[in-house]
Amino acid sequence: MTSRTSSSIDNRSTAGFIRRQRELFRRRLWPAALTFVSYLLYHVAGTATVLSNILQDLEASAGGRGFTAAERLSALGEGISGVMGYNSIFSWMLVPFLAAVLAIEGFAWMDNRREVDFYESQPVSRAERFWDICVSSFLYFLFSYLITLEIGLVIAGAMGGLTRGIVIEAAVQTLRVIALFVCVYGLGVLSAMLTGNIIVAGLAFLVLMFYEFELKMILAGYCSEFLATYDGNKPGILVENIFTPLYHYSVGSTAECIGRLLALAALYFLLAFLCYRLRRNECAGTAVVFGPVRSVVRVATAVMAGLFIGLLLASIQNSTPLAVLWMVLFTLLTACIMQIIYDYDFRALFRHPLEIALSLIITLAVFLGFLFDIAGYDRYLPDPDKVEDAALICRNNDSPLYDEKGHYLDPVTFGNRFMHLKNVEDVIAIAELGQEYTRRRSEHNPFYRASSRDETASSGDGSTDTTGISSVQTIDMGSYEILSENKPNQDFLFTAVYRMKNGKTISRQFSVPSSADPAMMDAVTGTQAFREGTFSICHDDIARSNAEFLTLDYTNGEESPGTLRLNKETYEAFRKAYLLDLEQFSYSFARSERPVGRICIRIQTGRTGPASGMPTPETRIGSQADRAGLQDPELENYEMNCEVYSSFSHTIAFLKDNDVWVDSLDHDTLPDYSDPNLSREDRDRLDTMDWSVFNGLFSPEEY
């Protein structure tokens, strides 16, 4: 009794821990060597190879002129960052691979009954053995990573590419990689605890690692395929993966990344340790150790396989019966294959028929739920009293949009950020029309008739329906029956965003026909809040703060009188005039007249060539030091377009006062491109015109 007690105390001491780690190292030499060699190739050979290639490319691209020290340092810095910094791509693959190998190999002894008997006979508790293996795996990874990283940094310094910033970046990236390894390793240990075979453990690791991501990708595909008003730019939970380590590694700040990964790792280790304590030794060699887990995995795998095939065929063949047939077959086949893997017996494929039936029921329920929109996604309209404010974003806005710092934004991001409409009822009225209109035109609407899928379909009264809305539908569109007179290219694509008082954000995407009630549309599009979320000039802080470096070009689509160099006074005068004229803008205004010209405001960075009306670097205004605030590379492409209409009297007066006005074209007198007798001169004239000038937001039709 005394001997066992002293042995137990010795095992818990530091000396006992070191002794056990030495014994484990002798038994686990090959995974430790694999880890070290992998990072030796990655950090050492990879760094040397990448930097050598960069120096060769610099020599080749520089030709005879050579390259500056700044160019060399920048290029080498990017290369180092790609190997051991934030931009390290292969780290995403190498860390999970090594973590899986170390985890599954470390507990492979549990799959062999002889080895189980040997380890159980040792004077070490089960808990100590579990954590000893985990710690040894972590040490193999940590030492391999740090030692080879230091060698790689020395090589980078010898080749002239090491800076303080690179060292800091490598240090921060090390913390991120360690957190990723710990999390993925915990997942690997859980995979080993749930299975009794190395091969099955590897498959289980892949399933646990990517199942959530793949399932949500499939569900997002179903949303895009079957839900007519689904807003793919704001998928929410369909992209946010809770149990996927690589997702947390790739999003958020470093602190958020590390915190989430370690929290997830704690969950995985807790589950793995519980399974370790509950696992019976006689389960060694079985495919999946726990019966309930076998059932869950079988059903989950079969459901995902069936849903994938159903989505694939629905999108390619556009045939619901065929998709359902193949979906049933693949769900059944996957469930049978899983049972064969469990029992190592081909005759076991139809065992546990209730699990097969459950798989089929879930698969068909999900498919039909999306097909018939049982949840009412496309019909959803929020309660106005529960909405804080809203945005109605027109996605047909082709003008480049920039925020107050000069960063380019797409129309949806721009509107989400800057549009805050308080007249929520007016937004909902437009959304109600748009969602119903879009839902009817949806290809997968169960009431949709195959005959109406053509561009034109014959209605019951002999008239022509150009929207694809079948006349047999029973939903009353009231005064909007005129919608059937619209062509698809006359629709305007909108995204409605509702910012709820409970903190949630809900969005829907839909089309609104051009024949929609102008008064209804003007109630939203004629507001200042709509203009602030639609036009860049409402957020031109970067232009105002750098007004002395601005240039203005005006064109009527054919002629441009030249470039006007602005300063603070002239830009403020232009801005005041244009914003005053812009108050006229609304849906009905834009539908009644099209632009007569376009103003383009650019920031002079000294890199824009004469083709854009900008001076060359040799003639630019101010030195590099004088142009503080213009170092952001995005400003090289900064471009603010402002459409000019014939009624914009203040803007036109400004252009005339500064000698950059050119008379508008008379479109009625332009040559007809379809005229077979059109002269070469007239054809060349039409070819060189910029027709996009006349296509403003909500313009009647495109040229």
Average of per-residue pLDDT values in the chain: 84
What is residue 239's predicted lDDT score, i.e. its pLDDT? 67
My answer on whether 635 and 526 are in the same domain is: no
Structure-model confidence comparison of residues 523 and 623, the more confident one: 523
Buried-exposed string 177-210: b where 16+ CB fall within 10 A, e elsewhere = bbbbbbbbbbbbbbbbbbbbbeebbbbbbebbbe
My answer on whether 526 and 544 are in the same domain is: no
What is residue 461's predicted lDDT score, i.e. its pLDDT? 38
My answer on whether 62 and 116 are in the same domain is: yes
My answer on whether 510 and 556 are in the same domain is: no
Q: Please give the average per-residue pLDDT across 280-288, as a whole number.
A: 83
Structure-model confidence comparison of residues 36 and 469, the more confident one: 36
Number of domains present in the structure of the chain: 3
Residue ending a domain, choose from 532, 550, 567: 532
My answer on whether 581 and 676 are in the same domain is: yes
Q: Is the separation of the CB atoms in 31 and 140 below 8 Å? A: yes
Question: For the segment 58-95, what is each residue's pLDDT rounded down to a tens digit?
Answer: 777 765 455 677 778 888 888 888 898 888 878 889 99
Percent of the chain surpassing pLDDT 90: 55
My answer on whether 628 and 517 are in the same domain is: no
Cα–Cα dist 16/22, whole Å: 10
Residue 518's domain comprises 384-447+481-532
My answer on whether 609 and 498 are in the same domain is: no
Q: Please give the average per-residue pLDDT across 95-110, as a whole number.
A: 95
Residue ending a domain, choose from 247, 267, 287: 267
Confidence band for 633, pLDDT divided at 50, 70 and 90: low
Q: Return the number of other C-beta atoms located less than 10 Å from residue 469's C-beta.
A: 26
- The pTM (predicted TM-score) of the whole model is 0.78
Structural domain contains residue 195: yes
Structural domain contains residue 469: no
CA distances from 222 to 215, 218, 314, 376, 664 (A): 11, 6, 9, 15, 49
Cα–Cα dist 345/301, whole Å: 19
pLDDT at 626 over 50: no
Question: For the segment 391-407, what is each residue's pLDDT rounded down to a tens digit?
Answer: 999 998 888 899 888 88
My answer on whether 42 and 141 are in the same domain is: yes
My answer on whether 485 and 593 are in the same domain is: no
Structural domain contains residue 577: yes
CA distances from 322 to 33, 149, 453 (A): 52, 55, 19
Question: For the segment 427-486, what is each residue's pLDDT rounded down to a tens digit?
Answer: 999 999 999 999 888 765 554 433 333 333 333 333 333 333 333 233 344 444 434 444
Cα–Cα dist 661/139, whole Å: 73
Q: Please give the average per-residue pLDDT across 319-344, as a whole number.
A: 91
Its sign, for the CA torsion 82, 254, 70, 613, is positive
Residue ending a domain, choose from 267, 298, 316: 267
Structural domain contains residue 238: no
Q: Which one of 11-20, 99-108, 633-642 scores highest in mean pLDDT?
A: 99-108
Its sign, for the CA torsion 67, 68, 72, 74, is negative
Looking at residue 470, its amino acid is S
My answer on whether 51 and 166 are in the same domain is: yes
Structural domain contains residue 34: yes
Structure-model confidence comparison of residues 38 and 460, the more confident one: 38
